[in-house]
A and B are shown apart, each in its own frame.
Chain A
C-alpha cells in the first residue's frame, strides 16, 4: 500500500502518539519545556512508568485510531530505572516492526528512541524529524482504509451470496476461471 496514493486532505498534519517512560524520556520532555525549546505540536504524549509497559497493542491501537506515527521513548540501554524494561521493549519492537511492514505501515511511522532525562534537545530533534518524515509519507489513514476494506469485504460477500444463490456448479467454475 502506498501512502502517496492516498489523497492528502487539505490542512492535514501528522498525528503522532508518543509513549514515554516516566524516568527518562518524559523527564526529558519536561526539560525541553523548561528550556523553552520549540518543536512541532503534532505529538501527544502518554506517560507510562517504563517503556517495558508498552504493549504492542497500544501501538496497533494508536494506528488503528488514526495515528500517522507512534514514538516510544525509553531510557538508554543499561540506564533503565527498572533494570531492563527498555531491552524488553526493544525485543517487542523488532517483532512488531515486521508485523507493521506486513500491514503496509512504513518503517518511519514507528520509532523507538532512547532519550535520557538530560536530553531535552533530543526530544525536540526526534519529534521534528519524525513529523517531517511522516509529512513526506502522507496520512496513514487506517480508519479510512478499514472502512474501505469493510466495504470491499461486504461487496465481496454480496457477490458470493449472489453466486451461491445462482447454483453450486456455476460458483465452482467461476472460482476456477476467475
Chain B
C-alpha cells in the first residue's frame, strides 16, 4: 500500500461553507469564515453558498475541481452522518478520489447549539482550520465490496414481522421468521375488530398467518429465540434457540385429538392468550387459527412433565402419529443471513402501577387488552360481556392515557389508545347497550378516517368527559353509587369535580418497550432512545434503518404506532433489505487498519486487543499482520501500538494530530 504522503504533488484545497438557509447562516458569519479560510495554506478557493447539498451546490464542487485543478475538498455544513456520502459522490463526479474529502459539522455541533454569533463564528473557523490541516494528509482510498448473503432474518412474528417476511418471500428471497411465542400473530391476533374500519382482525390477519406458514420461501421458527448474532452486514451468523414444546412440529398434523384426551378433563390453568380470562389445559393450542397448527405442552402444568406420573392419555390419542415427545430438549441452530429485520413489538403498561385506578383491586376493572378478548367471538366468553363477578355491565367507563403522558410513568403519547378506546366504546355499546363514558385528556385521532370515526362515536351517544381521572373507588357516597365503581374526575370542560358510578372500568394502558428490549438491543448492536424503544438511524430520513448496517426496524419496537403504520414500516424495512440483497454487495468504509511491517517491533500487544481476531502474528517474520477482511475499523489497535506502526485509513495519526493542532491554533 502506498503510504508515502501525497507523492509530492501540490495540495490544492477547495473549501465550501454552507448557509443551510438560515440554519447555519443565522448563527455563523459564513462569508467571514470563507474569507478566513481563504488565506490558510494550500487553499486555492473558498466559497460560501446557500445550500451545499443541493444539486447546484454539488455541481459547484464538481466544476471547481475541474476548473481549478483542486485535489482536496472540505465542506463545512451539517453532520457527516447525514451528508458525507453526498459530498464524497460530488467529489468523485469532479474526477478525484472521494476520500480526498473532509466534512466539518458546523450545524448540529455549532449553529444549532450555540447562542453567541461571535463565538459560533470563531468555532466554525477553528473547525474549518482543523479540516484544512487534516485534508492535506488524506490519501486516495478504495471502498471494499462485501458480498451479501441473500437470506433475511425477521425477528418477531407480529403484524410487522409477518408483513416484512411476506414481502421479502414474495420477492423470491428466503426468509427466516423467528417468533418466541408458540404462534405468530402478536397483539393483533388478540383483537376482535380493528379501528377505524371495524373490520374483523382475524379475517385480515389469519389468512396472512397461514400464508406465512405455507410459504415455500419462509422458514417459520416459532417458540424460538435468537441467542447470538455474529458477523456484519451481508454476513451474519445467527444462533437460534428452539425451546421444547414437547410436540414434534413436523409430526403434529393439528388434529388436536390429544387435547380432549388429556387427563385433566376440564381446562384448569390460566390461558395466556386470553389474558388469563379463560382456562386451558396443559396441552393446548393458543387459539384456533394459531400458526403453525401445532399443539404445545406447558411443562409447568403438565402432570407428566412435573411428576413423571401420568397415564399419558394424550400420547395414546396421538397414536401412530407419534408427535408427542416428552424427552424433547432445547436445541440450537446456526443460520447465515445477510440482513436482519427486528420487529419485536411492544408490551402494554402494567396497570397495577397506578393503584388509584383499582386494577387488581376491584374485580370489574379491566385492561383494554383484556376487553379485546372479552368482546371477541372466539374469546373466553364467546364475545358476551360477562364481568369477573358474573354480571353484565349497564354502564362502562373507559379511562384514556393510563401510564401515558404522565411524568410519573411514561411521558410519551402511546398513539393508539384514543383510537382503540373509541373502538372499544363502540364494541361495548354494541354488545351490551350500556352507557359508555370516555375520560380523556386530549383526543388524538390523527390518521386517515380517524377523526371521522370519532365523529361517528359522538353520534352513537357515547359520553366524552375531558379530564384526567383521579381515582376509581368502590366507596359510595350516595345510594345511587352503592354497589358500583365510582370514577372521580375533574370535568375540565364543565369546570367541576364529578363522580360517575359505573359497573365496569376499562383502562387504556399505553404502549411500552418490551421487557427484554435492552437485551435484544445488545444482541443486534442497536441503540435505544430514552424511552427504551429502538432508535432509528435518522428520525426523518432513515426511519427503518439502525446504526448497524444491514439491521432494520419495523413496527412498535421502534415506537408506538397503529397497524397501518406498522405495516407500512415493515414494507419499508423489507424494501431496504431487498435493496441490499438485490445489489448483491455492500460497500464498506475503507477505514480498516494495517501494519507497516518494517516499523513493527513484534511486541504482539495489538494481537489480543482486536475484538474480531483480525490481527495475526507472523512467526517467521516476527511481525504482526492485519487481515483486512476481518478488520472492522475501530482503531483500537492503532491507539495501542507502542511503536506507532499501525495505520488506520481515514483516521491516520497525522490526520488526527493535524485536527488537534487545527482546532487549537488561534
Contact = CB atoms under 8 A, between A and B. Distances in A.
Interface of A: 15, 17, 22-24, 26-27, 29-30, 32-34, 36-39, 41, 44-50, 52-58, 61-62, 65-67, 78-79, 81-85, 88-89, 92, 116-119, 124
Interface in B639-665: 639-640, 648, 651, 653, 656-657, 659-661, 663-665
A169 B635 CA distance: 56
B80 A88 contact: no
Contact of A61 (B79, B105, B632, B660): B660
B615 to A, nearest CB: 13
25 contacts: A22-B81, A24-B527, A27-B527, A32-B108, A33-B108, A33-B109, A36-B113, A44-B126, A46-B659, A47-B80, A49-B633, A49-B648, A52-B634, A52-B635, A55-B638, A55-B653, A65-B664, A78-B522, A81-B525, A82-B611, A82-B612, A85-B634, A88-B636, A92-B639, A118-B527
Given A15-B664, A46-B663, A53 B634 contact: yes
Contacts of B648: 49, 53
B113 A46 contact: no
B371 interface: no
B636 A85 contact: yes
Contacts of B522: 78-79
Interface residues of B, number: 54
Contacts of A84: 611
Interface centre among B119, B638, B664, B666 (most CB of A within 10 A): B664
B547 A27 contact: yes
A41 B116 contact: yes
Interface in B80-136: 80-81, 105, 107-110, 112-116, 119-120, 122-123, 126-127, 130
Contacts of B548: 81
B609 interface: yes
Contact of B640 (A32, A45, A79, A88): A88
Nearest to A29: B109
A38 B661 contact: no
B505 interface: no
A52 B634 CA distance: 7
B577 interface: no
A89 B663 CA distance: 22
A65 B665 contact: yes
B343 interface: no
Interface of B: 79-81, 105, 107-110, 112-116, 119-120, 122-123, 126-127, 130, 522, 525, 527-530, 535, 539, 547-548, 591, 609, 611-612, 632-636, 638-640, 648, 651, 653, 656-657, 659-661, 663-666
Nearest to B114: A41
Nearest to B81: A30
B108 A49 contact: no
B634 A30 contact: no
Given A37-B113, A39-B113, A50 B664 contact: no
Contacts of B639: 52-56, 88-89, 92
A21 to B, nearest CB: 9
Contact of A49 (B116, B609, B634, B665): B634
Given A52-B634, A52-B639, A38 B115 contact: yes
A37 B328 CA distance: 56
A12 to B, nearest CB: 11
A50 B657 contact: no
A54 B637 CA distance: 10
Contacts of A39: 113-114
Contacts of A24: 527
A60 to B, nearest CB: 10
B412 to A, nearest CB: 13
A17 B662 CA distance: 11
Contacts of B525: 81
A41 B107 contact: no
A45 B611 contact: no
A46 B79 contact: no
B551 to A, nearest CB: 12
Contact of B611 (A83, A92, A117): A83
Contacts of A118: 527-530, 535
A46 B130 contact: yes
Nearest to B653: A55
B123 A44 contact: yes
A52 B112 contact: no
Nearest to B111: A33
Contact of B109 (A45, A49, A52, A56): A45
Contact of A50 (B110, B114, B635, B659): B635
A135 B548 CA distance: 38
B107 A46 contact: no
Contacts of B609: 88
B603 to A, nearest CB: 16
Contacts of A62: 660, 664
A89 B612 CA distance: 17
Nearest to B110: A41
B79 A49 contact: no
Given A44-B127, A50-B635, A81 B547 contact: yes
Nearest to B531: A118
Contacts of A46: 130, 656, 659-660, 663
B589 to A, nearest CB: 8
B324 to A, nearest CB: 41
Contacts of A41: 110, 113-114, 116, 119-120, 122-123
Nearest to A34: B108
A58 B81 contact: no
Nearest to A15: B664
Interface centre among A30, A81, A83, A92 (most CB of B within 10 A): A30
A57 B643 CA distance: 12
Nearest to A121: B530
Given A53-B635, A55-B638, A44 B663 contact: yes
Nearest to B664: A65
A30 B653 CA distance: 25
B168 to A, nearest CB: 26
8 tightest A-B CB contacts, nearest first:
A33-B108, A53-B635, A52-B636, A82-B634, A83-B611, A44-B663, A50-B634, A33-B112
B663 A23 contact: no
A53 B656 CA distance: 10
Contacts of B666: 66
Nearest to B636: A52
B536 to A, nearest CB: 10
Given A44-B123, A67-B664, A49 B113 contact: no
Given A47-B105, A83-B611, 14 more contacts: A26-B81, A41-B113, A41-B120, A48-B651, A52-B636, A53-B635, A55-B638, A65-B664, A65-B665, A66-B664, A78-B522, A117-B535, A117-B547, A118-B529
A89 B80 CA distance: 24
B656 A29 contact: no
A119 B664 contact: no
A26 B78 CA distance: 13
B79 A33 contact: yes
Contacts of A34: 108, 112, 539
A78 B547 CA distance: 16
Given A44-B127, A53-B651, A17 B664 contact: yes
Contact of B107 (A27, A33, A44): A33
A103 B525 CA distance: 39
B124 to A, nearest CB: 10
Given A44-B663, A58-B660, A84-B611, A30 B79 contact: yes
Nearest to A52: B636
B347 to A, nearest CB: 20
B636 A53 contact: yes
